[in-house]
Amino acid sequence: MSSSTLSKKGPLLRCLYVQVIICIALGVVLGRFYPTVGADMKPLGDGSASGE
């Protein structure tokens, strides 16, 4: 793959599905190692899931 092909696609983090996968992975790690902090993040997840 040439560098011109990569620049046309743009950064990988601009893709929504990549952002969602990263957030899910961070949520799993946070819930596994810091469950109380993960529980405190519930309003953030509820607000984003309902579209508010």
Closest CA to 28 of 18, 17, 41: 41
pLDDT at 50: 63
Give pLDDT, residue 23: 86
Distances (CA, A) of 14 to 20, 22, 41: 11, 12, 24
Is the pLDDT higher at 19 or at 4?
A: 19
> Contact at 8 Å (CB) between 22 and 29?
no
Query: What count of Cα atoms within 13 Å lies in the side-chain half-sphere of residue 13?
Result: 2
Taking only the tens place, the pLDDT of each residue in 6-51 is 556 668 878 888 888 998 899 899 999 999 988 888 888 787 766 5
